[in-house]
Structure 1
Amino acid sequence: MNAATVFETIRENITGYNVRAEMHNRGAVQGITSMYQNLGEDHIFMLKASKNSAKYLQEAILRKPALIITDFEEDAFIDFHDKVAICYVDDFAEVSIRLVELFYGEHIGRMKYIAVTGTNGKTTTSHFIGRLLSELGCKVATVGTLGVFDGAYEKVDFAHTTPTTPMHFEFAEIIKYFSTREYDYIVYEATSIALDQGRTGFIRNDLAVFINFSPEHLDYHKTMRRYLESKLSLADLSDEVLVNMDAPEYRVLAKDRHQFSEDEDTYYRYQTDIDHIDIHVGEVHYEVRPGFLGEHNYINLATGIFALLKLGHDVEAVIHAAAKISPPVHRFELFSEGQYQFILDFAHTPIATKESIINAMIYAEKMEKKLIVMVTGIGMRGYRKIRMTMRLIPEELHHLVLAAEQVGYEDEEKIVGMMQKHLPPSYDASNTTTALSRQEGIIRAIDHAGPDTIILLTGINEPQHYRGDVIAHDDRQFILQYLDDCRKT
């Protein structure tokens, strides 16, 4: 593709278009990316305005791109006009969408897409949908918080500059990868921030699934209304929608009777029990007995079942598949080591953390054991969320560990202090321990544990961001290594 075609695409769709400096290479453009690490000579670099953009620009110039497109104000990088052609545009998202279509349209059109949005449970629901489809013989990729997975549930090594929904060109490369391998579906998590930034605006979804709604990402959206509007915009990008009618904010999207609910008289209904799910499809009842535990997992599995039914798959086949699949890693995952029993759960929003603890309390009571819980204050998530999380902590836990994680450049002592301040009044020094890191928190939980306890570890079980560094971490690996070291000493 030559540079003239790229310019013509921008001219036809974008206002505020202006180019500074002549193209150093007017021949073929070899690729396009928003990651300077992936930038090659004769590529186009999409530079989104941010506080780090000056650094990214300098890194990009060293790689000799054919063109840089940015939404910084005109002539913001005037000192570099003699080194590289820079195109200033007003609408970065629209330019990105048009150029994705230009470079990747052939691959985008070959596949089917299912988008999952909501405050909690996007990852688990997406993976359940993907695994159900795989059981039915489809080739399915899953994209989201855990990364990119192929149809065999093997992780594919894609650079991911955002935590959940990839940026425009990252996502397009993922689509190209699976398109060339003749996949049928991509199931992906659609976050409110990604929707607001138009990252998936080039995708026409076969189905959008709306699972729940509660306060989140207000540091970005500022108001609940803007947060909701971002979520609702996914419907305009989708042919069909599946709505949780128990979330009143989403009911406006329901255009037919094929929606789902726990209580209301909808076509798809579910009720969860400690070891099974009752599913109603119209007037017909089915019982699903998954090979795992956790009511929140069961709710997400029921949603996945309804998603496939909404797409027209045979109900008997879907129900049969639902009894065979497992949840993604670290979603109410049970494991034991020596005398210690653990539950790993990725819950990291206020409501998800509360639900995880309640589920663990039910399981611990069934096993006639006491429950120790680690809850984390996430430095990169903002103090408002920390306050909300602490106020929702259930009473009557045997022991509670409060730890700081994903600290970034925040003060971990301040994080833990805020957690203590906003705890329910039943928690004090007799039943609460603090830690300044996730690893220290796990150690404190083990210190209070024994054969008669179960340890629930909530939070972001991933490499830890601290003072500009990324520290490798996995709960299970850390636990096994720590206990092995203890045995040796």
Structure 2
Amino acid sequence: MLTVGKVFPKLSERIKSEGVLIGMDAQLLPITFVDVFRCLEASGLLLAKKGVMPNRVVPEITTDTRKLEDGDLFIAYRGVQFDAHVRVPELSRQHPSAVFILEDERCFQLMGEDQPFLLVKDSREAWSYVAALRYGNPHEKLKMIGVTGTNGKTSTVWFVRQILKALGKPSMTLGTIGVFCGDEMLPATHTTPDPDELFKSFATALARGITYVAMEVSSHAIVQRRIGPIRFDAVAFTSFSRDHLDFHATMKEYFAAKWELFTRYRKKDAPAFVSTTVRDHIPQSKAKLAFYGPTASRQTSDHGYFYAITESRLDHTHLDVTSDRKHAWDFPFGGDFVMDNFTAALALVQGLGETGEFSGSQIKPVPGRFEPVEAAQARGIAVIVDYAHTPDALEKTLAKLKEMTTGKLWALFGCGGDRDSGKRPLMGKIAEEQADIIVVTSDNPRTEKPDFIIEQILKGMPRKKTVHVIEDRREAIAFACLNAKPGDSVLIAGKGHEDYQIIGKTKFHFDDRSVATEILSAPRD
């Protein structure tokens, strides 16, 4: 683990004299190019160097070819759609005083000795180390909690925040819903932000007196080394099922990426919790693991946290959890699978020594996760908004709602464009098996044609039971909500907490919860 004081004693003194943090927000630490060189050398990322590293302060660090200016540090990496190395020869001529970090050895060999070039093992990882250095390695002074999994990351991180808040411990959480610093919410563009935003967030947390940071750690972030220097104090693996095969070549590769949170990014002997649903995927390991899940899934040799749900309604859940002692809570919300994530959060918090008591009424439900639309009650129906956007999540959500439904079960969903297309017919098949009435619509089509996405979903419905295709999502929600009969339940799946829809490359305001509320609250004819 790199520390400012041990690796860069001069920087440690500079922190004291100039200050990394001013007021309540993070401030950049003035680092030099020599500091960058030493950082990459100490991390084991540096392979070779050309030119003389200038001993001057780095004015700006960028990965954007359009934003590079003379004197800056440019980090070139191979992206999914663009490899910045192709622009390096031209950029170096335009900006002769810039310094370049490269991961392409051929590009490095083509460069002369009159300008500084650093060849590294992985440019994205180098970016994360340099970003951490600029903010004084704030992650080393925080209690870091990392959560990975196909489904359940967001809910688990949300409940970590809720539990810590109930115990009087403010926290920062980062994930799909956004970045929460205490009670302040900031928007998020990625499940795991890029290194600059990530370490800036950590420095802000430190400046505001926060001790705990809980974050979703996506497989993309792990593969792209956005979390390079972080070693987590506690980790959890919530679930594993098909997703992101547009990014990972195989399920084996997808799992291997997630498992690195436990093997590469976890501190030695840090608490590690794995859902019993993931048990069969785990490789033989000497790592000490604890499990969590329903009591029925517990094996004789297991230690960890196991729960039983003794009462379950849309507006109430009674949960019993057994670990080294017994706990019981009454929550003012429903969703059995959400309780799995609460149990993971409890394990993480208690694994770090926070074992105080709190009540279920202090825990707020996760936005857009099995969230009822209250306006539906007046019509005698249930309308549930959920983020379920994978086959596994859709199946579990429909199965639970089916248990609570006396009438017909409606499933309204689509699939995202420019994403794993193989899951589309799988989700269609699940909807046909679980629901009585299906409405197939648009999700975030992005640059794909909505009708093509819908066509792929329909391939999974060979029986072609009651299926309505309504491409416009607002119209689809209106159709389902206004045609559901008393006793029916309508699941609006796929977007959950999202308040936008992406069509083409444009993001439009759209919130399933608000749209459903507006439709259900309108005067009846």
Pair in the same fold by TM > 0.5: yes
The answer to whether the aligner puts 1:7 opposite 2:40 as a matched pair is no
Counterpart of 2:446 (choices 408, 419, 422) is: 408
Q: Which residue in 1 is equivalent to 2:321?
A: 279
Describe how 1:85-484 pairs up with structure 2 within 5 A.
Answer: 89-152=120-183, 154-157=184-187, 160=189, 163-236=190-263, 237-238=265-266, 239-248=270-279, 249-250=281-282, 252=284, 255-256=287-288, 258-262=290-294, 263-264=297-298, 265=300, 266-267=302-303, 268-273=305-310, 274=312, 275-282=317-324, 284-314=325-355, 317-318=356-357, 320-337=358-375, 339=379, 341-365=382-406, 369-393=407-431, 395=433, 397-423=435-461, 425=463, 427-428=464-465, 431-461=466-496, 462=498, 463-481=500-518
Q: Which residue in 1 is equivalent to 2:58?
A: 29
Change (3 A) 1:255 1:55: closer
Change (3 A) 1:398 1:132: same
Change (3 A) 1:65 1:480: farther
Q: Which amino acid aligns with 2:210?
A: Y
Describe how 1:77-92 pairs up with structure 2 within 5 A.
Answer: 89-92=120-123
The answer to whether the 8 A contact 2:125-2:224 is kept is no
The answer to whether the 8 A contact 1:68-1:87 is kept is yes
Shift of 1:54: 5.7
The alignment yields a C-alpha RMSD, in angstroms, of 3.6
Change (3 A) 1:363 1:77: farther
Find the aligned partners of 2:250 and 2:261 in 1 and give their Cα distance. Answer: 18
Shift of 1:78: 8.8
The answer to whether the 8 A contact 2:77-2:124 is kept is no
Find the aligned partners of 1:54 and 1:118 in 2 and give their Cα distance. Answer: 31
Q: Which amino acid aligns with 1:359?
A: K
Q: Secondary structure at the match of 1:383?
A: coil
Change (3 A) 1:333 1:5: same
Q: Number of residue pairs matched? A: 471
Find the aligned partners of 2:202 and 2:66 in 1 and give their Cα distance. Answer: 19
What's the % identity of the aligned pairs?
25
The answer to whether the 8 A contact 2:441-2:473 is kept is yes
Shift of 1:379: 1.5
Shift of 1:351: 0.5
The TM-score, its normalising length taken from structure 2, stands at 0.79
Change (3 A) 1:290 1:34: farther
Structure 2 residue runs of 5 or longer lacking an equivalent are: 1-30
Shift of 1:470: 1.7
Change (3 A) 1:15 1:69: closer
Shift of 1:34: 4.4
Q: Which amino acid aligns with 1:442?
A: I
Find the aligned partners of 1:113 and 1:395 in 2 and give their Cα distance. Answer: 41
Deviations 1:352-371 (A, max 9, x none): 11111122222333xxx433
Q: Secondary structure at the match of 1:109?
A: helix
Deviations 1:59-97 (A, max 9, x none): x99999954534356449999x9xx97655442134224
The TM-score, its normalising length taken from structure 1, stands at 0.84
Structure 1 residue runs of 5 or longer lacking an equivalent are: none
Change (3 A) 1:398 1:226: closer
The answer to whether the 8 A contact 2:242-2:390 is kept is no
Find the aligned partners of 2:57 and 2:150 in 1 and give their Cα distance. Answer: 43
Find the aligned partners of 1:96 and 1:286 in 2 and give their Cα distance. Answer: 44
Q: Secondary structure at the match of 2:343?
A: helix
Change (3 A) 1:64 1:125: farther
Find the aligned partners of 2:109 and 2:438 in 1 and give their Cα distance. Answer: 52
Find the aligned partners of 1:358 and 1:389 in 2 and give their Cα distance. Answer: 13
Q: Which amino acid aligns with 1:178?
A: A
The answer to whether the 8 A contact 2:413-2:440 is kept is yes
Find the aligned partners of 2:336 and 2:415 in 1 and give their Cα distance. Answer: 24
